Structure 1
Amino acid sequence: MNQHDQSANPPSLFRNRFLQTILLSSVLLQIGIWVRNFAILLYVAERTNNDPYAISLISVAEFAPIFVFSFIGGTFADRWRPKLTMIWCDSLSAVSVFAVLLSIHFGSWESVYLVAFISAILSQFSQPSSMRLFKFHVPEEQLQQGMALFQSLMAIFMVLGPMLGTFVYSTFGLEISIAVMGVAFLLSALVLIRLPEDHMEAGTVAAKGQFRKDFTEGFRYVWQSQVLRMLGLAFVLAGLAVGAAQALNLFIVTERLGRNKEFLQYMLMVNGAAMLIGGGLVAAFAKKVPPQLLLAMGMLAGAVCTTIVGFSTSIPLTLTIQFLNGLMFPCIHIGISTMILRWSNSSIVGRVNGVLNPMFVGMMVVSMSFAGALKSALPLSTIYSGAGLLFLLGALMMLPIMKHKAPDQAQATQ
């Protein structure tokens, strides 16, 4: 019997054993990921003398698996036992990290790309399994608060992660940094043992030959739901907007504000600190706001703030807008995650996540790829206004579904 079967007044989220365990696991994973990201970035930059092609390959290694494996990982996550899937993924990530570490030690420095590539593949199986467990072990009325806690955790590491990664690499070098990641993933796997045991229905043993049917069912499920279709369109628009704005942030600092590139870290820290506060605020009033409204508010704020940043030449104004944007950004993440969980049957959460997630990441990478060409052809203010318009269109996508309630069947299969 899971948490949904309990009384109308469930216990505090912080006393939920599942949430305690998954948050501790996430802390360990974030430590490993941020140390990895900065160690690889700084090492490749040093090794290749800031070669843009070599540095861009890091992003390819991190994002390419999402396109290929997100659909597949989501399908298998719905068929396998989620707790075991997560433990195996973290364990295999740790093993692969130590294998690559040996390769680096004996002279093959290019192996650093494999560290990001392999863990990105495994995360496409682990992340949808985590979403499924969320559906099983967090009461419906606390889903949005739970997602707000996760958003706050991500925000903490957006502030501390770059400093932690840079410190570990500059103090101990590449090999120790990679080893830290391996140990963090191994500890995460051990922590996940504490998760409640999988329900029989949480792991589905499907008949042979059913994979293609299960795979296509995810796409069909999203297409047949007006809410999930609109969410998919919002994903596409948000991905295009975020990619263009992120790729050109450095030029906002150097051209619009007239500062050197190091100033970018302060903009990011202001944004991250605001996201932390915003996540806490959303957690406080999450029960009272429908996730569609939450997502629309976040995208509307993104539209206004992105446009202003593109025109601003004032450092205080830009930092203030970055803070306000960070304050509202958790509304987007929390709104999206809550909608996926509420409008998806627990037997198909992994596949819905696998269909929608690549839409955002894919469009983000596409707009990042074209950002350089856009910068050559158009002024920054025009590009950022265009990104703001995309956010606005994403917010408008929520209007037709604003009053929709989550279907009863999405809360079934307890």
Structure 2
Amino acid sequence: MSDSQSRPTDRGSDPPSLWSNSPYRIFLASQTLSSLGDSFSYVALPLLVLHSTGSVLQMGFVTGLTGVASIVSGLFAGLIADRFDRRRLLMLTDGARCLLFLLIPVVWIFSTPVWLIYAVVPLAGVFSMLFRVTYVTVVPTIVAPDQITRANGHMYATYAVASIAGPALAGFVAASAGPAAAIGIDAATFAVAAVGILFVKFDGKPRPSEASAERGTARQEFLAGARFLWEHPVLRPLTVLLSLLTFLTYGLTDLVVYLLKHDLDQSDTTVGYVLAAGTVGTFIASTAVARIRKRFGFGASWIGAFSLAGIAVGGMGLSQSVPVIAVLMTVNLMCTGIAGICSMSLRQEVTPSHLLGRVTSSFWTIHSALGPLGAAATTAAAAGLGVTTVCLVIGIAVLAITLSGTMTGIAQPHTVDRPAGEAP
């Protein structure tokens, strides 16, 4: 019997509330603190570089180093998550980031060696990616199979809160006590998160028999995640289509900013309001995704969400109204959030535990690889052709790519979407 067939369904009777699950509550709180820490460092580190050097170029180097470290570490993070005790890995990644970031404010008391930031950032980026991959692998061990989508919705919501609150708090602390102090608070969040994992009980290790069965050469193990994606009738087309969609939409925020500033002559404050309004869609997605998938199943939820997102992108290009653009941004983020949570949940449901880390890192690496190239292409096209034309083309292309999923395994009924006892 396959892994997906052995799991309970997500359309049966309503499961007990996740809030009655003590390990899950603690894990969610720890994950929120880790996300808040990531958001703090995202603002505090470039600010510290600017305060120390006055160079916007060096600020860009710091941000670029973080991205490079995440991409490179993503290649091997899955293998590590599948090889070692995942509970200890979560504690290690948070503890390591705590010590690395704590080093900066301590040293800054005596001197301001900018080289230290360039040494800390790549290492912290490695541990951050290892944490992200590992936490995906442990969610199915903390909650029931029919609660995975709901749990991922909660995680998605906490990440959105951290993404909003973290930069705002980091900016406030940096303004009042200096960027080094903000990084010190960042370190403290990771320390508390690491301690919180101590109180979460779950099966942190893949089954020895399963893990040993997958052992081979380093190259074979590295490619195991990609091979699983390719051989799975749903994950294969999902990965291909998401790679194309990521290429098209990676630079969407830049296009919206350009539309508001260049075409509509709006202020920076208005840009901030529109982007903040879009985050409302994230919260709607996190609260509605479990019910939507339960009602319509994975295929219809994913295809329907991305189709509506494509229509919203095309509408943004046509609109000259700031409130309408804000609403369409909300719709777009809501739909991409629903599709993303459904996608993550499906991978967790159909992937054997001992392989989930490698499948997760392979999926992220493959489908996001074209993103930076797409952002450069779409923004360059907008500069030459105008945002309206580019958004219309992107919207139509997103809709066409998404609807092509109806001819793949994505649209087929899946065991995890059928009530118990229903024939395939």
Query: Is TM more than 0.5 here?
Result: yes
Partner residue of 2:174 out of 158, 169, 176: 169
Number of the residue aligned with 2:349:
342
Tell me, yes or no, if the aligned pair for 1:253 and 1:259 is still in contact at 8 Å.
yes
Shift of 1:284: 4.0
- For the 8 Å contact 1:218–1:348, the answer to whether it is kept is yes
The reply on whether 1:405 has 2:405 as its aligned counterpart is: no
Distance across 1 between alignment mates of 2:243 and 2:180: 38
What residue number does 2:322 align with? 315
Q: 1:407/1:262 Cα in 2 relative to 1: closer, same or farther (>3 Å)? A: closer
Q: Does 1:107 align with 2:112?
A: yes
CA distance in 1, matches of 2:55, 2:318: 30
- Alignment partner of 1:348: what SS? helix
**Which residue among 271, 278, 287 is the counterpart of 2:294?**
287
Cα distance, 1:102 vs. partner?
4.1
Please state if 1:74 is matched with 2:68: no
Q: 1:243 aligns with which of 225, 229, 250?
A: 250
8 Å Cα contact 2:141-2:202 kept in structure 1: no
1:285 positional shift: 4.0
CA deviation vs aligned residue, 1:54-75 (integer Å, no higher than 9, x gap): 3433442222123222131101
Within the candidate set 11, 23, 27, 1:18 is matched to 23
Contact 1:153 1:276 in 2 (8 A): no
Mean alpha-carbon deviation: is it higher for 22-31 or for 384-393? 384-393
Q: Is the 8 A contact 2:52 2:112 kept in 1?
A: no
Contact 1:240 1:387 (8 Å CA) reproduced: no
* 1:78-227 aligned within 5 A: 78-105=82-109, 106-198=111-203, 201-202=206-207, 210-227=217-234
Q: What whole-Å deviation, never above 9, does each CA across 1:209-235 have from its counterpart, x for those lacking one?
A: 643322122121111112111111132
Deviation at 1:260, TM superposition (A): 1.9
Provide the C-alpha distance between the structure 2 equivalents of 1:238 and 1:309, rounded to a whole number of angstroms.
17
Q: Give me the whole-angstrom Cα distance separating, in 2, the residues matched to 1:156 and 1:235.
A: 25
Partner of 2:236: 229
Q: State which of 43, 46, 49 in structure 2 corresponds to 1:41.
A: 46
Deviation at 1:288, TM superposition (A): 2.3
The answer on 1:64 being equivalent to 2:68 is yes
Letter in 2 for 1:358: T
Q: CA deviation at 1:8?
A: 8.0
**CA distance in structure 2 between the partners assigned to 1:223 and 1:242 by the alignment:** 23
Residue by residue, what CA displacement relative to the aligned partner does 1:300-351 show, whole Å, maximum 9, x if unpaired? Answer: 1221111111232211221221222233232122121112112212221111
Q: Distance in 2 between matches of 1:10 and 1:92?
A: 36
Q: Equivalents in 1 of 2:249, 2:132: separation in Å?
A: 21
1:199 Cα deviation from its structure 2 partner: 5.5
CA contact (8 A) 1:299 1:332 kept: yes
- Structure 1 91/10 Cα, relative in aligned 2: closer, same or farther at 3 Å? same
Give the letter for the 1:65 counterpart: A
5+ residue gaps, structure 1, are 409-414
Match of 2:270 in 1: 263
- Amino acid in the other structure paired with 1:72: F
The whole-number CA distance in structure 1 between the counterparts of 2:45 and 2:99 is 18
Structure 2: give runs of 5+ residues left out of the alignment: 1-6, 418-424
Distance 1:46 1:379, change over 3 A: farther
Measure, in 1, the Cα distance between the counterparts of 2:382 and 2:374. 12
Distance (whole Å) between structure 2 residues aligned to residue 261 and residue 47 of structure 1: 26
Asked whether the 8 Å contact 1:237–1:393 carries over to 2, the reply is no
Amino acid at match of 2:17: S
State the AA in 2 paired with 1:186. A
- Distance in 2 (alpha carbons) for counterparts of 1:107 and 1:152: 37
Name the SS for the 2:87 alignment partner: helix
What is the match of residue 3 of structure 2?
Answer: none
SS where residue 153 of structure 1 aligns?
helix
Distance 2:367 2:263 in 1: 28
Return the offset for 1:356: 0.8
Across the aligned residues of Structure 1 and Structure 2, the Cα RMSD in angstroms comes to 2.7
- TM-score for the superposition, normalised by structure 2: 0.86
1:357 aligns with 2:352: no
Q: Deviations over 1:257-281 (max 9, x none)?
A: 2112232211111011232123212
1:382 alignment partner in structure 2: 389
1:299 matches 2:303: no
Secondary structure class of the residue paired with 2:234: helix
1:300–1:392 Cα contact (<8 Å) kept = yes
Kindly indicate whether the alpha-carbon contact (under 8 Å) linking 2:104 and 2:117 is maintained by their aligned counterparts in 1: yes
Give 2:285's aligned residue.
Answer: 278
1:366 aligns to 2:373 (yes or no): yes
Tell whether the 8 Å contact from 1:296 to 1:395 is kept in structure 2 after alignment.
Answer: yes
Distance 1:84 1:396, change over 3 A: same
How many aligned residue pairs are there? 403
TM score, norm. by length of structure 1: 0.88
Is the CA contact (8 Å cut-off) linking 1:104 and 1:111 kept in structure 2?
no
CA contact (8 A) 1:305 1:321 kept: yes
Partners of 2:47 and 2:393 in 1: CA distance: 32
Match of 1:347, SS state, is helix
